Amino acid sequence: MSLPGTNSAAPPFLTLLLVAWVHCAAGLCVAQETAPLLTGPAAELDCAGGEEDVFQSGTQLFIDRSYPIKEVPEVMDGFKFIRSKIDRVSVICRKAGVVYVFTPIAGKSPDSREEELLDLGFQRVDLPDVLLFEGGWNRCFVYQKEMAVDEPLNLGKWGVLVVPERGAASKPGAKPAPAKPAPASAGTTPSSGKKVYALLFGGQSNALGWGYQQYLEDTKDPLAKPQNDVEMFYDIPGPGMLPEGTLLPLQSGNSNTNVKPLPNCYPALTVAPISRFGPELSFARTVRDRLPDPDAKLAVIKFAMGGSSLWKQECWLPDGTADSAADGKLYRIFQDVAKRGIAALKAKYPDRTVEVLGMGWVQGESDALDGKGAEYQKHLTDFIADVRATFGADLPFVLAKISPQQIEGSPDAKTVGEWEVVRKAQDAVAAAVPKVIATETADANVYPVAKGLSEGQYHYTTPGLLQIGKDLGNALIKAASLDAAPEKVSSESGPPAR
């Protein structure tokens, strides 16, 4: 064969190039170099927002997807793996050792992390590819590396981490819970007597928050800029704009980043990511401004998930004790996030005592919509007891009540009735349990909702979220008996609705 414009006898180097091209085009390129499977010792991994389970067929693979594992290499069956969110796994190596990463085959799936794994020093293992979960594009190769102490590994969508250590016996789909963290103030107290206060914050979609950074900028709110005297540590389902699982200055960007369809609160914002936040922004800012100890450090630790309830096992259901084994899945994730946030504060401030100052809670809508209002008082009481058993006895707990305007105009009489049952349950818990305060959200001028907008009537607009955070901050100061000045728990006026 000759190429147009060439002699029939092609030069040797051109012949080689043509042969190589034909082989590659036919999928016959030489495979990358592989290595025998390393067998240990296993690395000890500190995972941001993940949980350990047994690597075996039938086990749920990701926290935020219901995909069961389909195939595992026989030699690795029963090893430990990290169940994380599908779009991010983030770990720090605490004890040097071997780590395996399963990721889709490059060229067959856009989700392959092969290139970055190779750049990080991983090497492909000499094992056949496996179909990790259903879908031909989910066929994976496995890569391995001996990680060093304090070496981080952060992968996007998607990679699955496994270590050469046998997991505890588990039925398919079982999800062993991480151990309950000890109360933050436990242990040896640093001699300086200086404090780092941690605020815990959680709930469902209004805790996650649809607040817009653009609103802060338009109104010239000081919260538009990072608050260098307050820190935050967060983890959420799906991607946030800011790095997760690390200490950062308090700022917007720790909520959903997607664009809402028209009509929405900010029709000019049509390109993702959108910087958003929840009540934790003004919650932590208010507490910082009212702390009587100006030398104390303050951080807020946040985990929230939209549509989550207190009654479902896959959500926040507590057992009311210090044993996490029977706690709901989301609640166990929250405990892990809080534990890692507290550990990060202890590492950053070794000369100070880290103390959980209290918790803010924004949740209840899902329980009303599920017709579980009659159970809410018990579940909330148990949840507070569980939080206190885990993070400190008599820990102040403040919550924002669900608002009647969230269902104003609803033709569903049952939902309207359930809404009132949950609101009364929130008041009853606050009246019966010491150091619990429920803040009011009924005033439509102060707590505007996104009725008629794509954010949805169940969700507060930015000024409403900011006011809820302020209310919770003032309530926490009161519940913790740190009042620096008399102040109302809920303001009678607020910023105009946007």
Name which residue leads in pLDDT, 90 or 436: 436
Q: Which CATH number fits domain 194-479: 1.20.120.330, 3.40.50.1110, 3.40.1360.10, 3.20.20.120?
A: 3.40.50.1110
Q: Is the pLDDT of residue 180 over 70?
A: no
Of 80-89, 250-259, 456-465, where does the model show the most confidence? 456-465
Closest alpha carbon to 402 in 188, 198, 205:
205
Closest alpha carbon to 282 in 252, 243, 307, 237:
252
Strand 160-166 and strand 227-234: the pairing is unpaired
Lowest mean pLDDT: which of 182-186, 195-199, 313-317, 423-427?
182-186
Burial 79-88 (b: 16+ CB within 10 A, else e): bbbbbbbbbb
Q: Which two tokens stand for residue 128?
A: 């056949």
Strand 97-104 and strand 139-147: the pairing is antiparallel
Burial 259-292 (b: 16+ CB within 10 A, else e): ebeeebbbeeeeeeebbbbbbbbbbbbbbbebbe
Query: How far from 471 is each of 78, 80, 286, 393, 490, CA to CA, in Å?
Result: 49, 44, 9, 23, 5
| Confidence bin at 194 (pLDDT 50/70/90) | very high
Q: Is the pLDDT of residue 10 over 50?
A: no
Averaged pLDDT score across all residues of the chain: 86
Give yes or no for a contact between 420 and 376, defined as CB atoms under 8 angstroms apart.
no
d(CA 487, CA 169): 54
Give yes or no for a contact between 336 and 301, defined as CB atoms under 8 angstroms apart.
no
- Per the DSSP assignment, residues forming a β-bridge with 358 are 199
Closest alpha carbon to 301 in 184, 217, 400:
184
d(CA 394, CA 380): 15
Q: Is the pLDDT of residue 143 over 70?
A: yes
Give residues with Cβ within 8 angstroms of 250, minimum separation 6: 226, 227, 230, 231, 232, 281, 284, 285, 300
pLDDT for the residue numbered 32:
65
Residue-wise pLDDT for 384-439, tens only, equals: 999 999 999 999 999 999 999 999 999 999 999 999 999 999 999 999 999 999 99
d(CA 174, CA 340): 23
Q: What number of other Cβ atoms are within 10 A of residue 434's Cβ?
A: 10
pLDDT for the residue numbered 21:
45
Q: Is the pLDDT of residue 257 over 70?
A: yes
Q: Is the pLDDT of residue 204 over 90?
A: yes
Q: What number of other Cβ atoms are within 10 A of residue 93's Cβ?
A: 20
Evaluated on CA atoms 126, 128, 133, 135, the torsion sign reads: positive
pLDDT for the residue numbered 190:
60
Q: What is the mean pLDDT of residues 92-98?
A: 90
Burial 321-337 (b: 16+ CB within 10 A, else e): eeebeebbbbbbbbbbb
**What letter represents residue 443's amino acid?**
D
Lowest mean pLDDT: which of 207-221, 229-243, 267-281, 420-434?
229-243
pLDDT for the residue numbered 492:
35
Of the chain, the percentage scoring pLDDT greater than 70 comes to 85
**Phi and psi at residue 301, in whole multiples of 5°?**
-115, 120
Residue-wise pLDDT for 280-319, tens only, equals: 999 999 999 999 998 999 999 999 999 999 999 999 999 9
Residue-wise pLDDT for 449-465, tens only, equals: 999 999 999 999 999 99
3-class state of residue 282 by DSSP: helix
Q: Is the pLDDT of residue 192 over 80?
A: no
Give yes or no for a contact between 386 and 321, defined as CB atoms under 8 angstroms apart.
yes
Give me the helix-helix angle, 373-391 and 329-348, nearest 10°: 30
Give yes or no for a contact between 344 and 360, defined as CB atoms under 8 angstroms apart.
no
pLDDT for the residue numbered 29:
41
Give yes or no for a contact between 135 and 141, defined as CB atoms under 8 angstroms apart.
no
Q: Is the pLDDT of residue 217 over 90?
A: yes
Give yes or no for a contact between 256 and 276, defined as CB atoms under 8 angstroms apart.
yes
d(CA 80, CA 48): 16
Burial class (CB in 10 A: 0-12, 13-18, 19+), 174: middle
| Confidence bin at 351 (pLDDT 50/70/90) | very high
The DSSP code sequence of 434-452 is TTEEEE----TTTS-EETT
Residue-wise pLDDT for 11-56, tens only, equals: 444 444 444 444 444 433 445 689 999 988 999 988 766 788 999 9
Strands (E) located in 31-71? 44-47, 51-54
The domain limits of the chain are 34-166, 194-479
Q: Is the pLDDT of residue 331 over 50?
A: yes
Q: How are strands ordered across the β-sheet holding 152-156?
A: 44-47, 88-95, 152-156
Q: Which two tokens stand for residue 206?
A: 């209004």
Lowest mean pLDDT: which of 99-108, 181-190, 390-399, 446-455?
181-190
d(CA 8, CA 12): 12
Longest CA pairwise span in the chain (Å): 96
pTM of the model: 0.66
CA 79 to chain CA centroid, nearest Å: 25
Closest alpha carbon to 204 in 279, 304, 280:
304
d(CA 387, CA 335): 9
